[in-house]
Structure formats: C-alpha cells, structure tokens
Amino acid sequence: MTNQGNTLFWFRRDLRVQDNHGLYRALTSGLPVIGCFIFDEHILSSLEDKDDARVTFLHDTIHDLQEQIDARGGTLIVEYGKPEELIPRILDEYHIQKVYFNHDDEPYALQRDQFIAEHCQRHQISLYSFKDHLIFERDEVLKKDGLPYTVFTPYANAWKNRLELAGLDQDGYPLALSAFPSEHPSYPWKKVNSSRIPSLDSMGFVASEKEFPPREVKTSLIRQYGDQRDYPSAQGTSRLGIHFRFGTISIREKARKAYHLSQTFLNELIWRDFYAMILHHFPHVVNGAFRTPYDQIEWRNDEDDFRKWCMGMTGYPLVDAGMRQLNATGFMHNRVRMVVASFLTKHLLINWQWGEAYFARKLLDYDLASNNGGWQWAAGCGTDAAPYFRIFNPDAQQKKFDPKFTYIQSWLPEWGSASYPPPMVDHAFARQRCLKVYQEGLNRSK
DNA sequence: TTTTGAGTTGTTCGA
DNA sequence: GTCGAACAACTCAAA
C-alpha cells in the first residue's frame, strides 16, 4: 500500500467536504488521500484592496475545512504561491500517483490546469477531473443540431428535460441532483506533516470586518422567492452567491431543495449554468461584446461621471442606494444591480466593461461568467435578443420596487436633505442620447 | 430551406 | 389609474 503512493485532492472552488464530486472520487481511488489548497499568488496579487473581504472569507473557510479534514484523520496542505510551482513540488514530496480535482472553466483556470495536466503526463501521474460546480456544463445541454444555445428560455427547457431524463429518486427528486457521499468508514484520508496556514498578513492582506451570509436558506424564502425577490428592502433573495462561487455549499443540494418549492429560484440556478456554458463556448465575451457589432458603440467614458456612479452620487436615489450598499457590504440586491448597470451603460454611456470591473472588485459573490453575462445583458450586447431601446427609468424602478423609499433610506441617509445632489443627467435627455449613440454604433458595423 | 413564433427582469404614449 | 400598442424591425430555435 505505502509503495503505491498517494492520491492528491486539490481544492479550488469547491471548498467543502460534503457532496463534493471530485473529493468523493479521490476517496474511492484506492490510495490514501491528501488534500491541498493554494492561495494563488497570481490571483491575490491582482486584487486592489488590502482588506478584500473575499480573501478573509477564503482564509476563514480554509481554516474550517482543515479542521474538518483533521477531524477525519486527514491533512489539508495549505500553501501560498504559484500553483505551477507548488503542485509539482507537492506531487514529488508526498509521492502522489493520482491527482483529482473538479472542473474550473474560467480562462485562467483552464490555462493553469493545462500546465498541471502536461506536468502530470510527463511524470506518469494520473489526473482526473470532475463536474461539481455546475449542474450541467460544457456540452451537456445543446440544441438538436449540436450547437450551443444562446437564448435562455429554450436552454432552460432543454436543461429541465435533461434533469428529469435520468429519473427521480424515491423522494421525487431528480437523480442528477443526488449527493456524493462524504462519510464512509473505509475512506482513507492520510495524515502527513505539513506547515501551517499562511497568515493573511503574510499574503499582504488584512482581515475584513464585512459580514458573510449564512450557508442556509429558509424554506419559506425559497417558497416566496418569486413574489419577493424584486423588492430590495425585503429579505427576499438567498445571498448564496458567495457560497456558490467558492463551493462552500453544493449546487446540487440547493437545487434539490428548490426543485419542488420554486421554479423561479431554480431558474436562477439555470442562469448560472447558462452563463458558464456561454463563457465556455464563446470565450470572446471576456474581452468584448457577445454580439460583436456592439463593440462599435462610441462610449462617452467620462471619468468624472464614472466616479460619481461608483460613489453613489448620481442624484438618482435607487442607483445611489445600490452603490452605497455595494461599497459598504460587498453585496447589492439583484434588482438594483440591473438598475445601476442600465444607468451606467445607457444613461452615462460608459462602457459596460468599466462597470463589470468595478463589480468584480467589490462583489463578494463575484463570478466571472455570471457577472459578465449580467453586464452584457444590461448593456444590450449579450445573449438576450431583446432590443436595445429597453432603457430602465431609475425613478420608475424606484416607484415600482421601493415605493416607500425603505431601501433607499437605509443606504442613503442624506436622501431628501440639502446635501443630496440633483440628478446628474436628465432621464429623457439621456434616453434619447443613448438611442442615438447605440443606433449610430450599430449602423457603423454594417 | 423556409417559415413561424417567441424572446428574464422595460418604458412611453395615448385612449 | 389602467391598459394595449409601439418602440424597430432583430435573432434564435424548432417545425
């Protein structure tokens, strides 16, 4: 047994022991399993804020994960540095014969994993990778002609058919959402000596005071999700995004929970698969519009305007309350995300990529595929075929979704006082300007 | 191949 | 206040 070496399970964005597909496969690989996690220097060095709360969240999470693995008699090796240097070292030092991890289809991750795959091949180490982060991914839901969907509704219909294709379990839940076992007496974790978790300080960060949402979501919230989710002052959304991002909860578990309770909630999980699939098949969306003619739009890109938007000083209270909530907490209600994104792109004519980057910096639940998809949708250049003249009216949105100014007052205390600025641009004027500039941009591409 | 129906989350106008 | 049509003609998916 000892001569056969060990299995390595590399945690990345699946930071849990329960219902973890790749980990389950590693634990049934026939060799003792050692876990590892790397605080990736490439990613961390690109973060702008020393008190980035996502690094605190990661650090807390890794601490908990290590305790859980310790309690099972195993080890989680935790390092800070470059995966392309650290993984080969770990493979060598711990006599690794098999490497297991879960798919990560973001562009950087694909390149990182390709390097590791080539290294493993050169050293006769087996490498196994599994779907865990999504319910259906890559080529699992395609049109009849074999090409990927680019419209959500037919994709969601095909997705739901596929979910039920494998049948239901005895409790009436799709088998495709079954959990992978994490507890079994014969699962062989391995205890080895390893160094301590690097401190936040040693990686150049300080602890954040921001609060992190719980991993659980009430049944009543899911049941009422369809009716409540559009009202930013209600606690109508789950705030599970950060946990889906880092895999601190299982997507299958939450989908199973929502399955009989709320189609609307389930649809949101399908959107997540949809945008990940779009990123996989159309990687150009990272650098430009999904619909390339929209790259011809002549954005104003006024830096003072952008600064006002970032600070929540536009003079439109729903926009400003949203930005204040984002800046203060790292979270913004979904309805308000649409309003601020529409305002930045359509009213201010600032390139959606500026907004995308700001959200990437600030959102605790930031996810490349979903954030990019959402911004392209807001700008009108994305997969949604709806016409671009759909421009949100920030005042009308306030009347509909925050009629008593409850949300606005909780994030914008000076609203209504003399110190609150007047609207930075007139809505009717901005709307006409937007229609004209979009039209001209699209004509230019013909 | 051609045709047909439909498209996450909207707004404005005029009856 | 409420309701349907227009916005401007586009793109996609499936028959």
- pLDDT band at residue A1, thresholds of 50, 70 and 90? very low
Structure tokens of A439? 């039209």
Residue of A270, A254, A184 lying closest to A219 (CA atoms): A254
- pLDDT band at residue A138, thresholds of 50, 70 and 90? very high
Residue of A423, A359, A374 lying closest to A395 (CA atoms): A423
Exposed/middle/buried for residue A284 (C-beta within 10 Å: 0-12, 13-18, 19+): exposed
| CB-CB contact of A69 with A79 (8 Å) | no
CATH label of the domain that carries residue A264: 1.25.40.80
**Is strand C in 7 Å reach of the CB of A446?**
no
Positions of chain B reached by protein Cβ under 7 A: 6-12
Which nucleotide shows the minimum CA-to-C1' distance to residue A397?
A: B10
Q: Are residues A268 and A311 in the same domain?
A: no
Percent of chain A whose predicted confidence (pLDDT) is above 70: 98
Q: Are residues A310 and A413 in the same domain?
A: yes
Structure tokens of A443? 């004509």
Give tens-digit pLDDT for A142-177: 998 899 999 898 999 999 999 999 899 999 999 999
Q: Are residues A261 and A359 in the same domain?
A: no
Residue of A331, A52, A329 lying closest to A207 (CA atoms): A52
Domain boundary among A281, A301, A332: A281
Residue A409 lies in a domain: yes
State yes or no: pLDDT of A445 exceeds 80: no
| CB-CB contact of A438 with A348 (8 Å) | no
CATH label of the domain that carries residue A19: 3.40.50.620
- pLDDT band at residue A385, thresholds of 50, 70 and 90? low
Percent of chain A whose predicted confidence (pLDDT) is above 90: 86
Please give, one letter per residue, the 3-state secondary structure of chain A. CHHHCEEEEEECCCCCCCCCHHHHHHHCCCCCEEEEEEEEHHHHCCCCCCCCHHHHHHHHHHHHHHHHHHHCCCCEEEEEECHHHHHHHHHHHCCEEEEEEECCCCHHHHHHHHHHHHHHHHCCCEEEEECCCCCCCCCCCECCCCCECCCHHHHHHHHHHHHHHCCECCCCCEHHHCCCCCCCCCCCECCCCCCCCCCCHHHCCCCCCCCCCCCCCCHHHHHHHHHHCCCCCCCCCCCCHHHHHHCCCCHHHHHHHHHCCCHHHHHHHHHHHHHHHHHHHCHHHHCCCCCHHHHHCCCCCCHHHHHHHHHCCCCCHHHHHHHHHHHHHCCCCHHHHHHHHHHHHHHCCCCHHHHHHHHHHHCCCCCHHHHHHHHHHHHCCCCCCCCCCCCCCHHHHHHHHCCCCHHHHHHCCCCCCCCCCCCCCCHHHHHHHHHHHHHHHHHHCC
Which nucleotide shows the minimum CA-to-C1' distance to residue A154?
A: C13
Q: Are residues A341 and A252 in the same domain?
A: no
Q: Are residues A167 and A259 in the same domain?
A: yes
A312 phi, psi to nearest 5 deg: 75, 50
Which nucleotide shows the minimum CA-to-C1' distance to residue A270?
A: B8
Between A444 and A247, the more confident residue is A247
Beta bridge partners of A40: A81
Residue A323 lies in a domain: yes
Give tens-digit pLDDT for A348-376: 999 999 999 999 999 999 999 999 999 99
Q: Are residues A139 and A128 in the same domain?
A: no
Give tens-digit pLDDT for A302-360: 999 999 999 999 999 999 999 999 999 999 999 999 999 999 999 999 999 999 999 99
Give tens-digit pLDDT for A248-281: 999 999 999 999 999 999 999 999 999 999 999 9
Residue A446 lies in a domain: no
Residue A319 lies in a domain: yes
Q: Which amino acid is at A241?
A: G
Q: What is the dihedral of CA A59, A61, A64, A65, to 10 degrees?
A: -110
Between A429 and A54, the more confident residue is A54
| CB-CB contact of A350 with A297 (8 Å) | no
Q: Are residues A325 and A309 in the same domain?
A: yes
**Is strand C in 7 Å reach of the CB of A385?**
yes
Give tens-digit pLDDT for A87-134: 999 999 999 999 999 999 999 999 999 999 999 999 999 999 999 999
- pLDDT band at residue A58, thresholds of 50, 70 and 90? very high
Number of separate domains in chain A = 3
Give the integer Cα–Cα distance in Å for A94 and A76. 12
| CB-CB contact of A403 with A91 (8 Å) | no
For the CA of A431 and the C1' of C7, the distance in angstroms is 13
Between A241 and A444, the more confident residue is A241
Give tens-digit pLDDT for A186-215: 779 999 998 899 999 999 999 999 999 999
pLDDT at residue A187 in the model: 77
Residue A206 lies in a domain: no
State yes or no: pLDDT of A446 exceeds 80: no
- pLDDT band at residue A384, thresholds of 50, 70 and 90? confident
For the CA of A149 and the C1' of B6, the distance in angstroms is 15
For the CA of A390 and the C1' of C7, the distance in angstroms is 9
Q: Are residues A386 and A301 in the same domain?
A: yes
Contacting residues 124-163/A vs strand C (CB within 7 A): 143-144, 147, 149-151, 154-155, 157-158
State yes or no: pLDDT of A436 exceeds 90: no
Q: Are residues A241 and A315 in the same domain?
A: no
CATH label of the domain that carries residue A315: 1.10.579.10
Positions of chain C reached by protein Cβ under 7 A: 7-8, 10-15
Exposed/middle/buried for residue A292 (C-beta within 10 Å: 0-12, 13-18, 19+): exposed
| CB-CB contact of A266 with A227 (8 Å) | no
Residue of A323, A432, A342, A348 lying closest to A396 (CA atoms): A342
State yes or no: pLDDT of A426 exceeds 80: yes
pLDDT at residue A195 in the model: 85
For the CA of A169 and the C1' of C14, the distance in angstroms is 31
**Is strand C in 7 Å reach of the CB of A387?**
yes
Q: Are residues A30 and A56 in the same domain?
A: yes
Give the integer Cα–Cα distance in Å for A442 and A145. 29
For the CA of A19 and the C1' of B8, the distance in angstroms is 30
Give tens-digit pLDDT for A7-47: 999 999 999 999 999 999 999 999 999 999 999 999 999 99
Residue A379 lies in a domain: yes
**Is strand C in 7 Å reach of the CB of A207?**
no
Q: Are residues A68 and A156 in the same domain?
A: no
Say what the pTM is: 0.96
Between A296 and A219, the more confident residue is A219
Beta bridge partners of A11: A37
Which nucleotide shows the minimum CA-to-C1' distance to residue A151?
A: C12
pLDDT at residue A386 in the model: 63
Which nucleotide shows the minimum CA-to-C1' distance to residue A156?
A: B8
Residue A73 lies in a domain: yes
pLDDT at residue A311 in the model: 98
Residue A406 lies in a domain: yes
Ranked by mean pLDDT, which of A83-87, A345-349, A440-444 comes out on top? A83-87
Taking all atoms of strand B, which protein residues have CB closer than 7 Å?
Answer: A 151-153, 230, 267-268, 271, 334-335, 338, 374, 377, 384-386, 389-393, 396-397, 400, 427-428, 431
Q: Are residues A172 and A81 in the same domain?
A: no
First to last CA, chain A: 67
Which nucleotide shows the minimum CA-to-C1' distance to residue A229?
A: B9
Which residue range forms the structural domain that includes residue A320? 286-440
